[in-house]
Amino acid sequence: MKISIIGAGNVGASTALMLCQKSLADEVILVDVVEGMPQGKALDILETMPLYKSDTRIHGTNDFSQIKNSDIVIVTAGLPRKPGMSRDDLLKVNADIIGKVAESIKKSAPESIVIIVTNPLDAMTYHMLKKTGFAKNKIIGMAGVLDSARFRTFIAEKLKVSVTEISALVLGGHGDSMVPLAAHTLVNGKPLSAYIPDEEIAQLVARTRNGGAEIVNLLKTGSAFYAPAASVVEMVEEMLKSTGKILACSVLLEGEYNYKDVCVGVPVKLHKNGVKSIEKLVLTAEEKALLDKSAKEVAEQIAKL
């Protein structure tokens, strides 16, 4: 198993470290245009491997051809958000970057599965799909796993229960219109509404939608990276193990949920070839209306591309 990560910033480097810690690949390639940075970070990570009893090999490079024969390519390259910026503000600049990255992947790793982390996530997933011409099951956006983890975190804090007792999904675009499925959220097998009133659930939903911005405002010079990296690793691990876990991922829809030619977060199952299936959830009327709004906003971003 060879996994390449394009972009050696905080998200990329953290992803590389976690993949190596878990021995999820025989070889990890960390690629970036900044000379010395991917090499230095890769060497630092490599030197932790004896401590984690892992024999994963990792090296950094500025040569994009080194991703050759990768099974999975993770794309984190692009500018992060800064305070006051929305994910939409990043659309044009990151579309230019993703377009160039797509050409490198198409040339050097044409059989790979591609996981997109770059924002605005759903539009960049669609952009990667069009620029590479890859099959739709091979281009997957990471956002729903992260947003679902944030929702679970806030619920656990509120109820003072273990995060392992909480089952939750967040669908839709990775933006302010994302759709935490409160009506489908279970705590120890019981509906979330059995524990707290609607107004408090609404507060948790709002905090989840604002989860990335909350961290951006605290950091002031960057955006979240530990939880995004862990979310990517969760997806990779499911591809390798195929446990049947349902994850929220951004994928191309061609009629599912009544959407066409748009990438948006929906429940999926992953396996060694990428997306195994798109799972059909019965949504409440309110959830479907919110998902419609979110999908429309993503479609508008795609139209701008």
First to last CA, the chain: 34
Degrees to nearest 5, angle at CA 28 with 24 and 29:
160
Does residue 13 contact residue 45 with C-beta atoms inside 8 Å?
A: yes
User: Dmax of the chain from CA atoms?
Assistant: 54
- Active-site residue 174, yes or no? yes
The CATH superfamily label for domain 2-141 reads NAD(P)-binding Rossmann-like Domain (3.40.50.720)
Q: 38 with 60: CB under 8 angstroms?
A: yes
Q: Which of 59, 127, 174, 184 is catalytic?
A: 174
Q: Which pLDDT score is estimated for 87?
A: 59
160: left (phi over 0), alpha (psi -120 to 50) or beta: left
| pLDDT of amino acid 42 | 98
pLDDT tens column, 206-216: 999 999 999 99
Q: Are 32 and 62 in contact (CB under 8 A)?
A: yes
Residue-wise pLDDT for 181-202, tens only, equals 999 999 999 999 999 999 999 9
Is residue 20 within 8 A of residue 47, CB to CB? The reply is no
H/E stretch holding 72 reads: strand 72-75
Looking at residue 268, its pLDDT comes to 98
The pLDDT assigned to 179 comes to: 97
CATH fold, domain 144-304, is L-2-Hydroxyisocaproate Dehydrogenase; Chain A, domain 2 (3.90.110)
Give me the tens of pLDDT residue by residue for the chain, a chain 305 residues long.
999 999 999 999 999 999 999 999 999 999 999 999 999 999 999 999 999 999 999 999 999 999 999 999 999 999 876 777 765 678 989 999 999 999 999 999 999 999 999 999 999 999 999 999 999 999 999 999 999 999 999 999 999 999 999 999 999 999 889 999 999 999 999 999 999 999 999 999 999 999 999 999 999 888 899 999 999 999 999 999 999 999 999 999 999 999 999 999 999 999 999 999 999 999 999 999 999 999 999 999 999 99
Tokens describing residue 179: 């759709």
Query: For residue 73, which of 119, 112, 123 has the smallest C-alpha distance?
Result: 112
Instruction: Give the pTM.
Output: 0.96
> Where exactly are the structural domains of the chain?
2-141, 144-304
User: Do the Cβ atoms of 29 and 2 come closer than 8 Å?
Assistant: yes
